Amino acid sequence: MTESTYRIQGATGEWEVVIGLEVHAQVTSNAKLFSGAATAFGAEPNTQVSLIDAAMPGMLPVPNRECIRQAVRTGMAIDAQINKWSRFDRKNYFYADLPQGYQISQLYHPIVGEGAIDIVLDEKNPQASTKRIGVERIHVEQDAGKLMHDQHPTSSYVDLNRSGVALMEIVSKPDMRSPAEAGAYLSKLRTILRYVGSCDGNMDQGSMRADVNVSVRRPGEEFGTRTETKNVNSVRFVMAVVEHEANRQVDVLEAGGKIVQETRLYDPDRNETRSMRSKEDAHDYRYFPDPDLLPLELDDAFLEACRQSLPELPDAKRARYEGALGLSAYNAATLTADADTARWFEALLAEGARIQKKSEGEVAKASANWLLSELYGALNRIGKSLEDSPVSPEEGAELLALVADGTISGTIAKQVFEIMLETGDKPGKIVEEKGLKQTSDTGAIEAAVAKVLADNGDKVEQYRGGKEALFGFFVGQTMKAMQGKANPQVVNELVKKALAG
Amino acid sequence: MTNLTDLTVAEIRDGFRAGDFSAREVAEGFNANVAAAKALNAFIVETPEKALEAADAADKAKAAGETLGALAGVPIGMKDLFCTQGVQTTAASHMLEGFVPTYESTVSGKLWAAGAGMLGKLNLDQFAMGSSNETSYYGNVISPWRRGGGDNAALAPGGSSGGSSSAISARLCPAATGTDTGGSIRQPAAFTGISGIKPTYGRCSRWGIVAFASSLDQAGPMARTVRDNAILLEVMSGFDPKDSTSLDLAVPQWEANLSSDLKGKKVGIPKEYRPDGLNEEISAMWDRGIAWLKDAGAEVVEVSLPHTKYALPTYYIIAPAEASSNLARYDGVRYGQRDLPDGAGLQDMYAATRAAGFGPEVKRRIMIGTYVLSAGFYDAYYTQAQKVRALIARDFEQAFEKCDLLLTPTAPSASFALGEKQADPLAMYLNDVFTVPASLAGLPAMAVPGGLDSAGLPIGLQIIGKALDEQTVLNAALAIEERSGFTARPDKWW
């Protein structure tokens, strides 16, 4: 565990930043929280709306079991207390995107209680830089619709497609102390949600957005007054908001002013936050238990089924990659940071172990290195992601197996990989057709070595005179003469033998 | 020949099946009565064609030898709080004037599926808020009853289901739906000399019924006989997955199990329901009711419901609180009225729409509800009211350890003249004093007529049962019905 040393240097001394995040994550589900309407992103306006979502007279909400299940699984993934008894409350306010005139949420009795998320601040040194961020609660609630102001010169239109979509509000404790910690927390939370499958984590589509609570104080003193910046939709922006808002607050305080508890908006174009409304004109939401809904009671069988359905989570996976698979801390972190990457890696690993008849641990390092350097490099170059990689895990494993069993050298493997990317052919076929199999034919290699030595008599003299660094030169020349297809180990041995002779 | 519109639901059902008359003849008879009774203002929308359509379908089904629904050949009235597909549904408000649902409420859908036909949408207090049917945007409903002695004052049919009660007692329909939040089925039934039952909360789906107070609203039938109520309630009840508060229980065969033999049953008489100053005629009627139930074989015991005096204030916190939130959806954005003054913004549109769309009583309750839920007052009012509500429910549980049902008056007086209590909302709210406790506890309760008072107006009795024990409630009501010999009907003046 680690203590943050991040401080803002003010004119009057050091300030510490205190950050809490309320993250709204859209629950992955085909239907809305209380209606059967679909939830597809980007659909034509008002095509994903049921009578319930439009709050027609006499319509009633019925909780969607899948949304509840996903919230429970999410709670379990952060080791949180799952409340077997929870209840929905109405948050009352008028707005055109809120058809019912209230949002159904959970103020008094949330479905998930306290939990925690461990963040790592330096991936190369995880043990020394881990910090535990408390999660206060997770509750489920309805999303609102969307106003469209650009459709008509004098009126606004309402799109209710999002109205009633299930959100999880994940509320952290004020445990973060720097922009980096806030960023790491949000990234880690996103990773966990994507592992669990309870939210797709697409921040650019609004599936995940954060309300950022920031205050400043003299180190060790009581919490200061906080501001809340609403609907920040990327990790980078969250970090920017913290930094900007903390500095703004320090400026206000050092100028003798007071921080007003208020809601602010972030303008990414100008990288600043602006006041939206102060506490004084905050709504009185008149929360009360929704009388249309019975309390939510979860039984043990349901909870057990939720638990059984959880995948291996990022922290456990990372520990296993480091421990059982023997990967470096950095590689383990990189491979587990995203559920899709880990899934790809594990497919590569499983196939590699199968065709090489080795344990996963034995093929892990080569697999990780190839994925993180060769494959990632290539994908970066051609602007593709792992999901639409032109090379499958099976083909990657085949390529690695050809290197492992000495059929081709590492150098040749790079060439084969390039051809795979271009043609989509299988590595075995490429090696076969292009005649790239490396040779261990000692006769041919000996002949090549003899010719290299004969052609470079002066360098042989120098080597024998003690300039041993020239060894690599002879190996390289031999490989070149063999068009790269010679087994490097055999070349090494034969060059050494010839030079000694 | 018998006047078909004097028949009960059971008589129409059985006579139609026996071939004594056609469903069309019945529907035509009631359509004619409805058309001739404009003076009562019981209907907001008349749908004679719907009644005929259902009747013709019933006649055709019978001719073809098909299985007939439980209500085949029976036309009924539908309180205009139930959303009816393709037929304007207003909740008696200006707010929803012209609103035509694209969907059918679960309860009305069940009635149509059982073969019933719709005579029209019945007037009511606006958003079911009222006890005299004087808050409707579409005008007061007039009771067909008049005081004797040449007093022609227009009387209240009770509320909120005043269109239903007026229409049934005037023979405009043999039965109708009602909804009951604090007495809206039982008090109008008592005022007009008919019967009506509010079943256990959750028996009838609330889906498609314009909401007033969700934790209290419950649909139920109103008709002239106990048997008719049993017939309709069987059709209207049943689990609905679209209503989270719906009870997932089989519907009992209430009609088949009707029995006025109350041997072995204990009737509790709650002493708190006989306050000082209780109307003497109401008190005397109660005593008669006690005697009738004894005669039917029941044993009578005194019980105590100590928190009764808090029921009315509790109700008038909880019901408006829920209403203030339930009625927020009427904002002029998606349906119903919209008042958009020139240059108005969103907030202006809300204000103008709601100012014009809601009547004074609805506004009063929205304001009360908003107040009791507001920061700083929530615990003092709403939280406290919920605690008292739990105590009231516990009162009943404890009473039911000593008895099987309770007998009480339905309303503190017979019907009053329209306008008489309009100026004093608290006097009006007192009408619900005997009906509200059972609503708060979610218990089944029924109004059944007992006789006429000295002015010639009906007064009734209320039976409250244990949760889910509608059968005992119906049976006790039947015992009273058999002994009261109540056959009085209003003289036709309309």
Residue pLDDT, tens place only, B385-426: 999 999 999 999 999 999 999 999 999 999 999 998 878 888
Do residue B243 and residue A62 have CB atoms under 8 angstroms apart?
Answer: yes
Nearest-angstrom CA–CA distance, A210 and A232 = 5
Which residues in chain A are closer than 8 Å to B101, comparing Cβ atoms?
56-58
Residue in B with minimal Cα distance to A93: B328
- Show contacts of B419-425: CB within 8 Å, 24+ apart: B419/B134, B420/B156, B421/B132, B422/B132, B422/B134, B425/B361, B425/B364
Residue carrying the six token digits 């892990």? A364
Which residues in chain A are closer than 8 Å to B346, comparing Cβ atoms?
95-96, 156
Average pLDDT estimate for B171-185: 98
- The distance of Cα B85 from the centroid of its chain, to the nearest Å, equals 21
Can you give the pLDDT at residue A457? 87
Average pLDDT estimate for B200-225: 98
Neighbours of B319 (CB within 10 A): 28
B4-261+477-484 placed in CATH 3.90.1300.10: yes
Candidates A286, A287, A290, partner chain B, best to mutate (most B CBs within 10 A): A286
Of A62, A90, A95, Cβ closest to residue B325: A90
Higher per-residue confidence, B403 vs B148: B403
Model pLDDT for residues B24-54, shown as the tens digit of each residue: 999 999 999 999 999 999 999 999 999 999 9
Out of B22, B131, B132, B160, pick the active-site residue.
B160
Model pLDDT for residues A39-79, shown as the tens digit of each residue: 888 899 999 999 999 999 999 999 999 999 999 999 999 99
**Touching A: B residues 266-285, CB under 8 Å:** none
Q: What percent of chain A has pLDDT over 70?
A: 99
Model pLDDT for residues A438-495, shown as the tens digit of each residue: 777 778 888 888 889 889 889 888 988 888 888 889 888 888 888 878 888 888 888 8
**Touching A: B residues 225-244, CB under 8 Å:** 241-244
Q: Å from A75 to nearest chain B CA?
A: 25
Nearest-angstrom CA–CA distance, A343 and A336 = 9
Can you give the pLDDT at residue B304? 97
Q: Å from A65 to nearest chain B CA?
A: 12
Residue B264 predicted with pLDDT over 80: yes
Residue B1 predicted with pLDDT over 70: no
CA dihedral A54, A55, A56, A60 (to 10 degrees): 120
Out of B164, B165, B169, B184, pick the active-site residue.
B184
Can you give the pLDDT at residue B421? 86
Model pLDDT for residues A246-256, shown as the tens digit of each residue: 999 999 999 99
Can you give the pLDDT at residue B424? 82
Model pLDDT for residues B470-492, shown as the tens digit of each residue: 999 999 999 999 999 999 999 99
Residue A1 predicted with pLDDT over 70: no
The whole-model pTM stands at 0.91
Beta bridge partners of B492: none
Q: Å from A30 to nearest chain B CA?
A: 18
Model pLDDT for residues B273-322, shown as the tens digit of each residue: 988 888 999 999 999 999 999 999 999 999 999 999 999 999 999 999 99
CB of A19 closer than 8 Å to CB of A182: yes
Average pLDDT estimate for A343-347: 96
Q: Lowest mean pLDDT of A403-412, A424-433, B351-360, name the range.
A: A403-412
Candidates B100, B127, B331, partner chain A, best to mutate (most A CBs within 10 A): B331
Model pLDDT for residues A371-396, shown as the tens digit of each residue: 999 999 999 999 999 989 999 999 99
Residue A295 predicted with pLDDT over 70: yes
Of A54, A58, A286, Cβ closest to residue B334: A54
Beta bridge partners of A120: A130
Residue in B with minimal Cα distance to A62: B244
Listed in sequence order, the residues at least 6 apart from A251 whose beta carbon sits closer than 8 Å to its beta carbon are none
**B164 has catalytic annotation:** no
Residue A152 predicted with pLDDT over 60: yes
Say whether residue A100 is in contact with chain B using an 8 A CB cutoff.
yes
Of A56, A62, A101, Cβ closest to residue B241: A62
- Residue by residue, DSSP assigns B202-223 as TSS--TTBPPS-TTT-EEEEEE
Of A90, A96, A287, Cβ closest to residue B346: A96
**B215 has catalytic annotation:** no
Say whether residue A164 is in contact with chain B using an 8 A CB cutoff.
no
Say whether residue B105 is in contact with chain A using an 8 A CB cutoff.
yes
Q: What is the mean pLDDT of chain B?
A: 97
The continuous run of DSSP H or E covering A180 comes out as helix A179-196
Residue A338 predicted with pLDDT over 70: yes
Do residue A288 and residue B321 have CB atoms under 8 angstroms apart?
Answer: yes
**B160 has catalytic annotation:** yes
Which residues in chain B are closer than 8 Å to A99, comparing Cβ atoms?
329, 333-334
Average pLDDT estimate for A275-303: 90
Say whether residue A58 is in contact with chain B using an 8 A CB cutoff.
yes
Do residue A56 and residue B378 have CB atoms under 8 angstroms apart?
Answer: no
Average pLDDT estimate for B239-253: 98
Can you give the pLDDT at residue B423? 81
Which residues in chain A are closer than 8 Å to B105, comparing Cβ atoms?
58
Interface size A-B, in CB pairs within 8 Å, comes to 99
Model pLDDT for residues A204-259, shown as the tens digit of each residue: 888 999 999 999 999 989 999 999 999 999 999 999 999 999 999 999 999 999 99
Q: Where are the alpha helices (DSSP H) in A62-131?
A: 65-77
Say whether residue A137 is in contact with chain B using an 8 A CB cutoff.
no
Model pLDDT for residues A154-168, shown as the tens digit of each residue: 888 999 999 999 999
DSSP A151: S
Q: What is the mean pLDDT of chain A?
A: 93
Can you give the pLDDT at residue A60? 98
